[in-house]
Amino acid sequence: ELFEKKNYELRIAGGAVRDLLSGMTPQDIDFATTATPAEMKEMFTSAGVRMINNKGEKHGTITARLHEENFEITTLRIDVVTDGRHAEVEFTTDWEKDAERRDLTVNSMFLGLDGMLYDFFNGYEDLKNKKIRFVGKASERIQEDYLRILRYFRFYGRIAEKPGDHEPSTLQAIKENAKGLAGISGERIWVELKKILVGNHVNHLVRLMYELDIAQYIGLPLDGNLEEFDRVTKNTQNLCPKPMTVLTSLFSVKDDVTNLDLRLKISKDEKNLGLFLVKYRQELTKATGPEPLRPYQDFIMDSREANTNSRICELLKYQGEEQLVRELQQWTIPSFPVSGHDLRKMGVSSGKEIGAVLQQLRDEWKKSGYHMDKEELLSCLKKL
């Protein structure tokens, strides 16, 4: 209503349009408008609408807060100069010019609030046919921001129906510009890569990263183990693995994790998960016999670290142990029923002795599969 009153055009833009046309509820809705940031500020201020200052203004974005929600509204713009990472922009009122500087056809549509679709580059056709294409010339779009190479892969994994359905000229443009990824910050790359790793067609897309010479610029090992990668992506298909769990299958040694971290600045948890999987994926496996989960339970019980449980869970997914993942998720870590206080009551007085006896009892408890209760353990103590 505010925009209408002032005769500014306002439309939903980009990803939200793609989601709505795919029958999905968009997670966040971005708007585009013919109003400039200064005009929006004036309009919102006089209407008493709160604005959140988020430094987006020089790119033309104003964030308005209404009904406990943030709405990002960006002035239509043209990129004047780009260096492959950042763009200098100038504002325009031409919707097609704004659509022209967006990355993929499926992300370049606008939707009027009356339900009218504005689609300058056949984005809706492509979406219906599950085709991922760059707007205009692939090489030009990529050179504006090299991260778009990974965005191409990410949306391919999200929308395309089958692997291998690429335009040869697009793959050629990606290969020729792969080196540009070297100049993109690790954090931005990691955000995209994680989404690729948990999307569809992941082994096809990672193989492409190797074929098109991208891997070396985004922190992946030059000789990534693609056979293991294929195996693990099959193993984890229905198990919702963490991105790091899938990625670790490419790694042969600890250094591969360290190098990834140097390039992409992954979180401490992600790094530790990678190191854990490289170390234990072969030596910690299920037991033969009636209690296959036992070695994993013992490992968790012996560990002094807080998140061992979730790491073991990822290890089981990596190994494709679907049934054991379920069992582990239902297992409650038992707590050791005897304390030093109990031992003092039984006449064990020296601290050193208490420690040693507790350890012995803990071993007995472990042998029993953590089933012995306090009484049984203390009667065991009499024997000891």
Domain boundaries, the chain: 1-124, 340-382
Q: Which amino acid is at 372?
A: M
Question: Tokens representing 195?
Answer: 């989404």
Q: pLDDT tens for residues 56-77?
A: 777 889 999 988 888 999 999 9
What's the pLDDT tens digit per position in 152-166? 999 999 999 999 999
Q: In angstroms, rounded to a whole number, what is the distance separating the alpha carbons of residues 335 and 301?
A: 9
The Cα–Cα gap between 132 and 167 comes to 9
**Local confidence pLDDT in tens for the 384 residues of the chain:** 999 999 999 999 999 999 999 999 998 899 999 999 999 999 999 999 999 876 777 788 999 998 888 899 999 998 877 776 777 888 999 999 999 999 999 999 999 999 999 999 999 999 999 999 999 999 999 999 999 999 999 999 999 999 999 999 999 999 999 999 999 999 999 999 999 999 999 999 999 999 999 999 999 999 999 999 999 999 999 999 999 999 999 999 999 999 999 999 999 999 999 999 999 999 999 989 888 999 999 999 888 888 899 999 999 999 999 999 999 999 988 888 988 888 888 877 777 888 888 888 888 888 888 888 888 888 887 776
Residue 13, Cβ density class (10 Å: 0-12 exposed, 13-18 middle, ≥19 buried): buried
Among 250, 254, 262, smallest CA distance to 225 is for 250
Quick one: 1-124 is in which CATH superfamily?
Answer: Beta Polymerase, domain 2 (3.30.460.10)
Looking at residue 350, what is its pLDDT? 77
Whole-model pTM? Answer: 0.88
In whole angstroms, what is the distance from residue 233 CA to residue 378 CA?
A: 48
The gap from C-alpha 186 to its chain's centroid, in whole angstroms, comes to 14
Determine the residue type at 112.
G
